[in-house]
């Protein structure tokens, strides 16, 4: 499994510096959460890793090769990107939506048996097979999130980069989609998530990268990084941490220091 890395990435967007010399290494087969307050640069870093922004300095690499230098179709086959906006502009059915995930693989003569098999597997993995013929306008928020995840999974990417995939979901669906993301990592793909919910990050992530003002505060295994001191420093908050009766770590912000 190749390694996805940010090597000294600095990024300016709309005249504002959003990332400053960011170094981070992401491992395949693991779930990494990008955490930080609003405007810390999480989504920008994710988009850089997907090759969607041209950094002012530094580069994103996949297996040592610069992501932005890769031919677009090859990059799209290896890196699946799930944007924050859950846009689906036409009322296509779920099967058609998921089949769009195969576009980077599609040859000149249209859909192949492999394309259909991958789309069906993605529908099954997200529990959306029964919804295949339903129009996206008639899906609930949770079903829509799963259908969009299935779209990315249909591309069988080595890397799944998802920008707040759990943000609009209720707790039950957060756990469900979270479990699906963990299953993707268990299958060998690398998963990088932008997350706002600290407790979800603690539950889902193997590794965590903490960002503040476009810089990396800390990066490493979740249990080493999600400490009261580091999380508090990242958000400028006083934070309490603990472990539930079932062994689940929790993080509770309690207020501003002082």
Partner 1 sequence: MTRATTLLALGVLIAAILSVAAGKVWVPLDAWTAADPRSIIIVELRLPRTILALAVGAALGMSGAAMQGYLRNPLADPGLFGVSSGAAFGAVCSLYFGYAAQTWLLPGFALFGAAATMAALALIAGRSGSLILFTLAGMILTSITGSLTALALSLAPTPFAASEIMTWLMGALTDRSWNEVVVSVPLIVLGMAVLARTARSLDALTLGEQAARSMGVDPHRLQLAVIVGVALTVGASVAAAGVIGFVGLIVPHLVRPFAGHRPSATLLPAALGGALLLTVADSLVRLAPTVSELRLGIAMSMLGGPFFLYLLISMRRRLA
Binding site for partner 1 (CB under 8 A): 47, 50-52, 72-73, 75-76, 79-83, 85, 87-92, 96-97, 100, 103-104, 106, 135, 148, 151, 155
- In terms of CB distance, is 144 or 203 closer to partner 1? 144
- In terms of CB distance, is 25 or 103 closer to partner 1? 103
Go through the chain and tell me how many residues it has.
258
- In terms of CB distance, is 86 or 237 closer to partner 1? 86
- In terms of CB distance, is 97 or 226 closer to partner 1? 97
For residue 106, the minimal CB distance to partner 1 (Å) is 7
Q: Please state, in angstroms and rounded to a whole number, the distance separating the CA atoms of residues 212 and 29.
A: 26
Which residues are paired to 209 by β-bridges? 34, 219
For residue 142, what are the CA distances in angstroms to 3, 87, 162, 245? 31, 14, 15, 29
For residue 115, the minimal CB distance to partner 1 (Å) is 13
For residues 205 and 194, is the Cβ–Cβ distance under 8 A? no
Cα-only R_g, the chain: 18
For residues 215 and 18, is the Cβ–Cβ distance under 8 A? no
For residue 255, the minimal CB distance to partner 1 (Å) is 36
For residue 111, the minimal CB distance to partner 1 (Å) is 12
- In terms of CB distance, is 47 or 219 closer to partner 1? 47
For residue 94, the minimal CB distance to partner 1 (Å) is 12
């Amino acid at each position: 499994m190749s390694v996805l890395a940010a090597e000294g990435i600095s990024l300016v967007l709309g005249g504002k510096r959003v990332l400053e010399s960011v170094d981070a290494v992401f491992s395949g087969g693991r779930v990494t959460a990008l955490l930080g307050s609003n405007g810390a640069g999480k989504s920008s870093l994710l988009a850089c890793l997907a090759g969607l922004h041209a950094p002012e300095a530094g580069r994103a690499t996949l297996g040592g090769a610069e992501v932005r230098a890769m031919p677009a179709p090859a990059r799209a086959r290896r890196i699946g990107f799930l944007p924050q906006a859950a846009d689906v502009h036409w009322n296509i059915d779920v099967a058609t939506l998921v089949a769009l995930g195969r576009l980077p693989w599609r040859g000149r003569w249209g859909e192949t048996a492999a394309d259909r098999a991958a789309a069906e597997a993605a529908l099954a993995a997200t529990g959306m097979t029964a919804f295949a013929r339903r129009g996206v306008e008639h899906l609930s928020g949770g079903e829509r999130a799963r259908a969009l995840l299935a779209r990315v999974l249909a591309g069988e990417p080595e890397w799944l980069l998802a920008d707040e995939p759990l943000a609009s979901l209720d707790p039950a669906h957060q756990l469900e989609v979270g479990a699906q993301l963990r299953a993707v990592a268990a299958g060998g793909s690398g998963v990088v998530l932008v997350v706002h919910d600290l407790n979800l990050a603690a539950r889902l992530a193997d590794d965590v990268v903490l960002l503040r003002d476009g810089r990396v505060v800390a990066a490493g295994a979740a249990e080493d990084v999600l400490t009261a001191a580091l999380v508090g420093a990242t958000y400028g908050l006083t934070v309490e941490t603990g472990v539930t009766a079932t062994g689940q770590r929790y993080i509770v912000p309690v207020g501003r220091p002082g």
